[in-house]
Amino acid sequence: MPLEETIAPAGTMTTQIDAALGWARKYSIFQYPFVTACCGMEFMSTAASHYDLDRFGAGFPRFSPRQADCLMVVGTISHKIAPVLRRIYDQMAEPKWVIAFGVCTCTGGFYNNYSTVQGIDTIVPVDLYIPGCPPRPETVIQGLVMLQEKIQKTGGRPRRVVEAAP
């Protein structure tokens, strides 16, 4: 007789440990806001009481990468600061996720020039892209909910083997 039928009448249910972990993790995202430019104003607006990111369990910015789950890269990334961003990412403990917030982080935006990184996914792996210049708080919240779905599905396991920074 399968295990489920044996124990089900006793008032128990079976599940996957990953699903439980994913459920727990998606409502306790500790974010690290890596804010470099004007998108930061929109991030503040999203995080403040009117739009209230805390409703989704992501209201707790940690300014130490060791304590953060989710790296939010907010604003234009120049080549000069790219090694810093990479080191911040490397310092974060697994499981970790990266959000590219705003079009500059997604593709470089309209800064196709000598100084700007053409998309932070050339430096760090990105889980979620939020376009917009800057994105409205509603867009950010939709992105956060999509990230929560992703966390639920993957259970927060380390997604990939990350090679050391060059």
Partner 1 sequence: MSAPATQGERREIPAADARAGLEALKAEGFNVLVDLTCVDYLAQKRAPRFDVVYRLMKLDAAEGRDLGRVEIHCAADAQPVLRSVRDLWPVADWLEREVWDMFGVGFIDRPDIKRLLMYETFVGHPLRKDYPIAKRQPLIGPKSGEKADSPSFNILKPTVVGE
| Nearest distance from C-beta of residue 18 to partner 1, angstroms | 26
CA dist 60 and 42 (Å) reads 17
| Nearest distance from C-beta of residue 121 to partner 1, angstroms | 4
Residues 4-23 that bind partner 1 (CB under 8 A): none
Among all chains, which residue has been given the structure tokens 């430019």? Answer: 37
Q: Are 133 and 101 in contact (CB under 8 A)?
A: no
Q: Are 74 and 102 in contact (CB under 8 A)?
A: yes
Among 91, 121, 128, 136, binds partner 1 (CB under 8 A): 121
Q: Choose between 83 and 158: whose C-beta lies nearer to partner 1.
A: 83
Measured between alpha carbons, how far apart are the two ends of the chain, in Å? 54
Residues 91-110 that bind partner 1 (CB under 8 A): 106-108
Q: What is the dihedral of CA 13, 19, 22, 26, to 10 degrees?
A: -70
Q: Is 118 a residue that touches partner 1 (CB under 8 A)?
A: yes
Q: Is 80 a residue that touches partner 1 (CB under 8 A)?
A: yes
Q: Is 123 a residue that touches partner 1 (CB under 8 A)?
A: yes
| Nearest distance from C-beta of residue 63 to partner 1, angstroms | 23
Residue 116: C-alpha distances to residues 40, 76, 77, 78, 154 (Å):
17, 7, 6, 4, 32
Q: Choose between 33 and 108: whose C-beta lies nearer to partner 1.
A: 108
| Nearest distance from C-beta of residue 80 to partner 1, angstroms | 5
Provide CB contacts within 8 A for 85, sequence distance 6+: 34, 73, 77, 120, 123, 124
Q: Is 86 a residue that touches partner 1 (CB under 8 A)?
A: yes
Tokens representing 58 are: 């992501």
| Nearest distance from C-beta of residue 115 to partner 1, angstroms | 7
Q: Write out the residues near partner 1 by the rule CB under 8 A.
A: 79-80, 82-83, 86, 106-108, 112-115, 117-119, 121-123, 129, 165-166
